[in-house]
Structure 1
Amino acid sequence: MTDFGLKVRMAVVGAILFGFYMLVATFGLMMLGPGAWPIVLIGILILPVIQYKIGKWAALRGAEEMPEEGQFQQIHFMTESLSRKMGIDKPKLMVMDMGTPNAFATGRKGAGVVVVSTELIQLLDQDELEGVIAHELAHIKNRDVVAMVVGSSIAMMVGYVAYFAVLFGGQRNIATYVLAMVASMLANMLVMIFVLAISRYREYVADDDARQAIGSGDPLARALEKISRGAQGRESKLEDSVNAMAIFNADTSLLSQLFATHPPAEKRIQKLRN
């Protein structure tokens, strides 16, 4: 069920991000000197792993492992069934108070984690929850979760490089610090534009994969309608980086609207029902 268009986008964006990453390495060599290339090389190899681990740890803060009995037994059963159908190992299931009805996946294929909010479990019917679980499993299967985490990490590092490049390239005064901060923000946004090329498209792909897995798009469409209504007037407890990975981005800030990580819910619902 992996979409060819998503594979192409991930390959192209991956190549562009690798170029930005090499820019970070070059800056490191310029700062430390040519003799420090072994340190820079080791840093290039281990830094993405560290960033990935930190990103996963940060996303799962506040989450608790989902019990396999009681009200959660059916969720474990449907996840196991869907995982077999989609050809992946059953991910670890966790539950969290997110402030809004929501869910997200993190981790790589074979070591994935799906986190659902208590608000979501209370809000959705069984078939709607199955649609949401299938959507999150699709993200793990398609490996786009790792691409998002690594891409965001590279954007952050490029932002740091821009900051220090401006800072060390001029006099240390208030104007230089302000210019360095502006350059950092612009560099970060530039890289994030490429990451967002994956982000919005991957939601459509995961929706379609979920539709194929459960045999109909209507349960997930109904779930998105309920999630969208349920998020109104509530404040999400998730960090912005985690909101970007959730099935519904509850962040309504101006910056979130300018750099939307998700397609409009109305379009997703329409595509699911068509």
Structure 2
Amino acid sequence: MGYVKTGILMAAMTALFMGVGYLIGGSGGAVIALVVAAAMNVFTWWNSDRMVLRMHNAQPVAPRDRMGLHDLVGELAKNAGLPMPAVYLIDTPQPNAFATGRNPSNAAVAVTAGLMNTLSREELAGVIAHELAHIRNHDTAIMTVTATFAGAISMLANFALFFGGSRERLGLVGTLMMMILAPTAAALVQMAISRTREYAADKAGAEICGQPLWLASALQRIQQGAARIDNDAAERNPATAHMFIINPLHAHKRDNLFATHPATENRVAALQQLAQTMGRSPTANAAPRMSQTSVPNTRRRPRNDGPWS
């Protein structure tokens, strides 16, 4: 789905939020709900990147780091026509990555130590290009707003039991059903938006790095690692799971309603089809070697236990 359908889903989230407010307090409740949502979103808009990075104990990566990560992000940002984002490293063995920030001028890309130890330079370039695509498409702001709405709807639904207005309109059983169904509906909308943007970022990321198969190979490796390696910070903050390139909590084999990410198999298949369209090899199991003109010739880490050695 494109931005039109994303906009429709966002409108549905807003309508649901105001609807819950109306059931609790009538027209006045709907207005109050809208004001609360606006205040929450303003706060989140300015602080979301710092909040998320702090949740995952992400540490900044300095220019010319020994891994060459900062230089790699910088070169790909130029390819994407973006300002240089901040670069962070998360000390967890699970291979994964995410982007955050309210706009391209205030953005950050965070990768895990597990990602650096698992992927080749080509695959890493594909992952970073995917995250830069999220930044360029303003997905980080969209996902922050939907996450805030989802949390606020859940909060309002839980408050419903304590307000007489909702019980008069719906009765006790109806109020209890609203407490269950409203947060579920909000979560479904949030997940649908997340899946929508992942496909778009895969395509744009492949175009940024010029090789869809680099990202396809990376997705397969990350999926395998995420399925067997825990991410403790993500488990403590499950509301951030939709931000990662692969769900850090558990794997899904289908694009079902309760999945925060599309099935990895479907994403790889779409990238393979894109590779054929671009005249690349249809095999995604092994990414081709990175050319010197595609990304910078970054220095490698002085260790011998990973593909960057």
**2:72 matches 1:78:** yes
Give the C-alpha shift of residue 250 in structure 1. 2.3
SS class of match (2:228): coil
Kindly report the root-mean-square deviation, in angstroms, between the aligned alpha carbons of the 2 structures: 3.0
CA distance in 2, matches of 1:41, 1:271: 39
Match of 1:102 in 2: 96
SS in 2 for 1:71: coil
The 5 A counterparts of 1:43-62 are 43-53=36-46, 55-61=48-54, 62=57
TM (norm. structure 1) is 0.83
Decide whether aligned partners of structure 1 residues 167 and 103 sit closer, same or farther in structure 2, where only a CA change above 3 A counts. same
Task: Give the conservation status (yes or no) of the 8 Å contact 2:202–2:271.
Answer: yes
Segments of structure 2 that go 5 or more residues without pairing to the other structure are 274-309
1:268 aligns with 2:262: no
2:132 is matched by which residue type in structure 1?
L
Q: CA deviation at 1:112?
A: 0.7
Q: Which residue of 2 aligns with 1:212?
A: 207
Q: 1:195 to 1:108 in 2, by over 3 A?
A: same
1:195-206 correspondence to structure 2 within 5 Å: 195-206=190-201
Structure that is richer in helix per residue: 1
Matched residues in 1 for 2:226 and 2:21: separation? 41
Supply the distance in 2 between the matched residues of 1:75 and 1:33 (Cα, whole angstroms): 49
**Contact 2:21/2:156 (CA < 8 Å) preserved in 1?**
no
Q: CA deviation at 1:26?
A: 5.0
Structure 1: runs of 5 or more not aligned: none
Most deviating of 123-132 and 97-106: 97-106
The question of whether the paired residues in 1 share the 8 Å contact of 2:49 and 2:101 is answered with yes
Displacement of 1:55: 4.1
Matched, 1:117 2:116: no
Q: Is the 8 A contact 1:106 1:114 kept in 2?
A: yes
- Residue 137 of structure 1 aligns to which amino acid in structure 2? L
Whether the 8 Å contact between 1:164 and 1:180 is mirrored in structure 2 is no
- How far apart, CA to CA, are the structure 2 residues paired with 1:192 and 1:151? 9
Matched-pair identity in %:
32
